[in-house]
A and B are shown apart, each in its own frame.
Chain A
Amino acid sequence: MIAFLIKRLFHALLVMFVISLIAFAIQDNLGDPVQQLVGQSVPESERDALRDELGLNDPFITQYLRFAGNALHFDFGYSYVFNQPTTEVILRHLPATLELVAATTVLIILLSVPIGVYSAIKPRAWLSRFFMGVSIIGISIPVFLTAIVLIQLFAIGVSWTPFPTDTGWGQWLNDLVSTNGGMPAYGRGDPVHVLGTWYTNFASIKGLSYLILPAVSLASIMLPLFIRLIRAEMLEVLQSDYIKFARAKGLSPQRIYFLHALKNTMLPVITVGGVQIGTLVAYTILTETVFQWPGVGLMFLNAIERSDIPLIVTYLVIVGLIFTITNTLVDLIYGLVNPTVKLTGKPA
């Protein structure tokens, strides 16, 4: 166990090193940060002085070694835009993203497990077919479109009048297809302070209302994937011998489905889930941009737009770290769920 963790620690360091090297190598293509720091009419001599001050005129190796040396002391430099250490900037934006990811994960788990299991148990029921159809649509619509449609429907509101408005039933049907809006269209309102840089949206109904639309948009990407995955695994498990035996033994269907079958179904789901949480962090960039959710995704996009190289590099390194950590956690959980898996790779 200890040996495994130490090995993973080295993995993490290696990943971070490679990412930082790549990020540094492409920085020349990210644009000129000085351009973003000064007004248009500032003369070239002033720009050069600033470029010198920022150390941008040094050769690549010098710049990288300086960065790496500081990074070993957890000093990742100053953001050009925020004028603060990049780690502080990221730490301030991280809780918003983590809350969004947490809300999305809860949504995915609460919906995908029952729907997936149901459509595996009753593959031919019309409801199962409906879920499968919707999930195909869900997976093929890009997240920013989902987000804009959700905003139009539930934040601004849409009033359709396809039915006659002068009759009672027509009015009723019109109301049914129209939406009122009223949901917050952007941002996270006034989150409540918890501790440090952590402000939460989970403390009140009002706070939660800000979370709903972004979380639903973000979930729309992953939800179909998980429903289909759980359904496919469950179908396979239901064919296996031990389920047949359990049935023959006369165990109640609930016990078979939700205890014996589900347990084995979840193994690959956990693996995929762990990797997908990393992907989820990447998708937050799109969702956060449309909803102007003040998390690291939005921060990263702004950093790219303004060529804030130190912030870009730090973000990429930290995301690399998050990926390594989630993968390690997945491996640990996997060992707990399935005792035949040994982390050190030795047979049991």
Chain B
Amino acid sequence: MEAMIATLVVGILIGYMGQRTRFCPISGIRDYFMIRDSVRLKGLFGIIIGGAIGYTLFGFIGGDIPNFPLGLEDLNSTGLLISAIVGGLGLGFFSVFAEGCPFRQHVMLAEGRQGAMYYLLGFYLGIIYFNFVTIKWLGLLLGITG
């Protein structure tokens, strides 16, 4: 129950801030490589630094932060490594054409952008497809690669 309420509250907070600042890490990377504009890229660095500070601080004062720092601990399967690389490449590539990451698309839908509505229609249909089809291929890949 706490997790549900906490995610709702944090969602409202970051949704508000995200709309006001046009926050989008994908656009940050794109802008930097396209027009050498680093303004939006700072958001990405902010998450990394804020996360590192938060996990260190909350872990230090008794919060539940297991296996921190993770290091190479989650790098124990070739299949997971391939998933991370292929998934990351695809997410980055197609998000540029969609003009924003999944977070930004949800914010744009709340603003009334029709393109974001169709994007999210495909996004949620994709969840069904992934859970019925893609996941089986992924299982096969993990089985082969270990």
| Chain A partners chain B | no
